[in-house]
Amino acid sequence: MDEIVRINSDLPPLRRLPLAGRAGEVYDGILKAVLDHRLMPGMKLSEDEVGAVFGVSRTVVRAALQALAFEGIAEIFPNRGAFVAKPSTETAKQVFEARALIEPELAANAAGRLSPEDLEGLRQHIEREHAALHAENQGEAIALSGAFHIRIAELSGQAVLTGFVRELISQSSLIVALYWTRRETTCESDDHGALMEAFSAGDSALARSVMRDHIERLRDGLDLTDRETRPVSIAEALGRVMA
């Protein structure tokens, strides 16, 4: 309770839009808990309970939950309540397909327009990633890795696509929580470092291909076999039972 959850303020925000008043704090708190894997996929987010935790009324909680739902972090079922999203393996595949389509393009665009300060900032960011890895701080490492991708998107100057990347990164954290296999724990293989080289050289084509390979490697670290595909609709569920 007295452990203050600190979010490094120099990291790019995961939230796309400003939320009125305290709703932003609730949003950040829940998101942080999800990314830290303290709130696991499928857990119920009762409005009363959340409100009690943050000391706000259900009105505020509902705004925060709606915002989380829009970014795919929570799922809201009318008259049933909100739950931490539990992306299916199919959704997981699609999230990484989307990333593989969008992020290489943004990396290529960024490569041509980075200032020396931008490059230095990215270098320092990678330093912190390495520090977190050596400290075996898994949660921090994942958060920093996501932030790196968002930073690159921001530096591409394409705000619209950057918004999509934010959403995809958040969902990726949920997906990692569900499907990550530690098999190749050193899988990081310094892909981010390789990206830095492309950026330093201002080589757009190289940045694009390095990013594409990187995202494929990330996806290959997941176990996306169809074992637990939940039915997405009542009709589908009934159809399966009847058949």
Partner DNA sequence: AACTTCCAGATTGTATACGATTTGCCGGAT
Partner DNA sequence: ATCCGGCAAATCGTATACAATCTGGAAGTT
Identified binder of a copy of itself from the candidate list 30, 95, 114, 195, rule CB under 8 A: 95
End-to-end Cα separation, the chain, in angstroms: 50
Q: How many residues does the chain have?
A: 243
Query: Which of these segments, 58-66, 96-104, 133-141, 167-175, binds DNA (CB under 7 A)?
Result: 58-66
Residue 105 binds: one of DNA, a copy of itself, none (C-beta under 5 to 8 A by kind) = a copy of itself
Identified binder of a copy of itself from the candidate list 16, 22, 86, 130, rule CB under 8 A: 16
Residue 128 binds: one of DNA, a copy of itself, none (C-beta under 5 to 8 A by kind) = none
Residues 47-76 that bind a copy of itself (CB under 8 A): 59, 62-63, 66-67, 69-70, 76
Strands across the sheet containing 81-84? 44-45, 81-84, 74-77
The residues pairing with 74 across neighbouring beta strands, listed in sequence order, are 84
Neighbours of 236 (CB within 10 A): 12
Whose Cβ is closer to DNA: residue 27's or residue 199's?
27
Taking the C-alpha atoms of residue 80 and residue 50, their distance in angstroms, rounded to an integer, is: 15
What is the DSSP code (8-state) at residue 75? E
Residues 169-188 that bind a copy of itself (CB under 8 A): none
Question: Taking CB under 7 A as the rule, does residue 79 contact DNA?
Answer: yes
**In which residue are the tokens 């009690």 written?**
52
Whose Cβ is closer to a copy of itself: residue 49's or residue 97's?
97
Taking the C-alpha atoms of residue 25 and residue 39, their distance in angstroms, rounded to an integer, is: 16
Which residue type sits at 179?
A: Y
Positive or negative torsion for Cα 124, 134, 5, 53: positive
Neighbours of 41 (CB within 10 A): 17
Residues 105-134 that bind a copy of itself (CB under 8 A): 105
Question: Taking CB under 8 A as the rule, does residue 18 contact a copy of itself?
Answer: yes
Question: Taking CB under 7 A as the rule, does residue 82 contact DNA?
Answer: yes
Interacting residues toward a copy of itself by CB under 8 A:
16-18, 20-21, 59, 62-63, 66-67, 69-70, 76, 78-79, 91, 94-95, 97-98, 101-102, 105, 158-161, 164, 168
